[in-house]
Structure 1
Amino acid sequence: MVADGKKSDISLAGTLGSSAFAACFAEICTIPLDTAKVRLQLQKKAVAGDALSLPKYRGMLGTVATIAREEGVAALWKGIVPGLHRQCLFGGLRIGMYEPVKNLYVGENFVGDVPLTKKILAALTTGALGITVANPTDLVKVRLQAEGKLQPGVPRRYTGAMNAYSTIVRKEGLAALWTGLGPNVARNAIINAAELASYDQVKQSILKIPGFTDNVVTHLFAGLGAGFFAVCIGSPVDVVKSRMMGDSAYKSTLDCFVKTLKNDGPLAFYKGFIPNFGRLGSWNVIMFLTLEQAKKFVKNMESS
């Protein structure tokens, strides 16, 4: 990401391509943790005294191990195809458009450090726009991840990503692809602001410390900071989004929020916090490190 007050030194197409590539690479590396997070979030509270309803999944590593043991290691990458669809669209747009939108908000002739409020506003904008386009890919990804081990003879709802898209449209209508759009826009706009604005701000602050330069160490610290802020701020809307997409019983965002609070308690909104941080923390580190290197590569390509 470029320094405050400076225009990008690569083309918009190069920025979008670098962003999509970095987001896809991070997705491939971390989707097992995302699958564990979705399973933990969808797990309902056990009924007292009912041995059969004891929590199946316990903790990040326990959930990963249970899925691998019962369904095979490949099941941890369930949803990778729509996940990559999502990152190409959403990742490319929200990250790639951040600098242009930020520059639009501060004005063409702005010089100096961009205010944090403008960074947050730019990231909220690109996050909301990006996920509005990419919501169908998110829905299919969650549905594929949510399906656990089935009883013998019970067919799977979907045979793959493309089958899921077509089945949802055929059985539920085209609008169903935008199920959960409300909490998804809220979640991704908020998390995008937490990620991109905090990365931008932390990186800017680190670079003012003597001895630090725009290198991998700086990108690593800034990426970890971005992941931590994103999880703390976005976890409640993330839980509501996963539950709405994974279970069609909820009538609306508010209905899902109220039922989750009533049935599972306030801590349910931070279910899967550790795997979520493991996922988003590592995702941000991998994505930002890859993005910085990809943009350098594109800059060299375009200037040669």
Structure 2
Amino acid sequence: MATASAFAAVFFSSAFAACFAEVCTIPLDTAKVRLQLQRKAPQSLPPAAAATGAGWAASAGGTLATILSIARDEGVAALWKGIIPGLHRQFLYGGLRVGLYEPVKAFFVGGTAVGDVSLISKILAALTTGVIAIVVANPTDLVKVRLQADGKANTVKRNYSGALNAYATIIRQEGIGALWTGLGPNVARNAIINAAELASYDEFKQMFLKLPGFTDNVFTHLLAGLGAGFFAVCIGSPVDVVKSRMMGDSTYRSTLDCFAKTLKNDGPGAFYKGFIANFCRIGSWNVIMFLTLEQVRRLFL
């Protein structure tokens, strides 16, 4: 079993790597959130309205268009809306999910997790650490999504002055329990994505290292990180959309209500809205995070 000092070292290394990846990729995440919050524009909208804020969903035709639209209409800094709670989230969530992964994996295999470990043990360990980490970090995720969503034409303006003001305002106006709004889909999303990321990265890396010509180097880490990101987006996109919509719009009564209304009003394709932005975000995020983590581990572990 890992010692407290070993856990602390992995926790802080993982937290640093996750925060660094967050800073690099949050514009893509902001675009993804805006795309996921889009709803079908009412057919009765006149052309003039569709060309203005009411037709935002139509005018932002994709990831790049959304990024350019935000930068033009709200300023470049708006692309980094939510960076402070994003860093709060990554410090807690990133540190816990990776820091706990090896000891939890060892628990599932009944000892020290060395050598070949079954894929099912890796998946179970990643699911477990994903749940634990996001239960702790959900308030930071909520504030991050709300700050990113604020400013969109068809979203209720909350006008938070910053992350700390958002935490305080939510507690004052909605109660402390509101900080865990969207916990259901967030637990599902992060447990699934964490399993897809950590277990697949672990599996890809192990697979590549068995192939001739592959060593434990940057190229292997890069390929494994891309594979992990692709699996995470394919598997986790539907619950990610539901999570973003619940956190960005408090009118949904429950996870099932959000899922049902999204399916009814926007169709099944809505669950993969922002897919390209999500893959660009999570794919690049995984590459940066795992590359950074591997280098930091070599320095300090």
**Among residues 280, 290, 293, which one is paired with 1:291 in the alignment?**
293
Query: CA contact under 8 A between 1:70 and 1:149: conserved in structure 2?
Result: no
CA distance in 2, matches of 1:122, 1:197: 8
Aligned to 2:175: 173
Aligned residues: 291
Instruction: Indicate yes or no: 2:28 matched with 1:33.
Output: yes
Instruction: Indicate yes or no: 2:56 matched with 1:72.
Output: no
Task: Look up the equivalent residue of 2:79 and give its one-letter code.
Answer: L
Instruction: Indicate yes or no: 2:103 matched with 1:108.
Output: no
Aligned to 1:129: 132
Instruction: Indicate yes or no: 2:24 matched with 1:24.
Output: no
**Among residues 142, 147, 164, which one is paired with 2:145 in the alignment?**
142
Query: CA contact under 8 A between 2:105 and 2:113: conserved in structure 1?
Result: no
Secondary structure of residue in 2 paired with 1:90: helix
Task: Look up the equivalent residue of 1:266 and give its one-letter code.
Answer: P
CA distance in 1, matches of 2:270, 2:19: 29
Query: Could you say if the C-alpha distance between residues 23 and 110 of structure 1 is closer, same or farther in structure 2, counting changes exceeding 3 Å?
Result: closer
Identical pairs, percent: 73
Task: Look up the equivalent residue of 1:272 and give its one-letter code.
Answer: G
Query: Could you say if the C-alpha distance between residues 109 and 140 of structure 1 is closer, same or farther in structure 2, counting changes exceeding 3 Å?
Result: closer
TM-score after normalising by structure 2: 0.93
Aligned to 2:264: 262
Task: Look up the equivalent residue of 1:255 and give its one-letter code.
Answer: D
CA distance in 2, matches of 1:254, 1:274: 25
* Mapping for residues 135-284 of structure 1, pairs under 5 Å: 135-148=138-151, 156-284=158-286
Secondary structure of residue in 2 paired with 1:58: coil
Q: Which runs of 5+ in 1 are unaligned?
A: 1-5, 300-304
The structural deviation recorded for 1:49 is: 4.6
Deviations 1:209-238 (A, max 9, x none): 011000000000000000000000000000
Task: Look up the equivalent residue of 2:150 and give its one-letter code.
Answer: E
Query: CA contact under 8 A between 2:198 and 2:228: conserved in structure 1?
Result: yes
Task: Look up the equivalent residue of 1:94 and give its one-letter code.
Answer: R
Deviations 1:26-67 (A, max 9, x none): 000000000000000001111225232432422000000000
The structural deviation recorded for 1:112 is: 3.4
Instruction: Indicate yes or no: 2:83 matched with 1:88.
Output: no
**Among residues 35, 42, 53, which one is paired with 2:37 in the alignment?**
42
The structural deviation recorded for 1:139 is: 0.2
Query: Could you say if the C-alpha distance between residues 150 and 62 of structure 1 is closer, same or farther in structure 2, counting changes exceeding 3 Å?
Result: closer
The structural deviation recorded for 1:7 is: 7.7
CA distance in 2, matches of 1:84, 1:214: 29
The structural deviation recorded for 1:24 is: 0.2
Query: CA contact under 8 A between 1:71 and 1:149: conserved in structure 2?
Result: no
Instruction: Report the more deviating stretch, 38-47 or 176-185.
Output: 38-47
Task: Look up the equivalent residue of 1:14 and give its one-letter code.
Answer: A
The structural deviation recorded for 1:160 is: 0.3
Query: CA contact under 8 A between 1:132 and 1:185: conserved in structure 2?
Result: yes
* Mapping for residues 7-22 of structure 1, pairs under 5 Å: 11-22=6-17
Secondary structure of residue in 1 paired with 2:177: helix
State the superposition RMSD in angstroms.
Answer: 1.8
CA distance in 1, matches of 2:2, 2:143: 37
Query: Could you say if the C-alpha distance between residues 111 and 99 of structure 1 is closer, same or farther in structure 2, counting changes exceeding 3 Å?
Result: closer
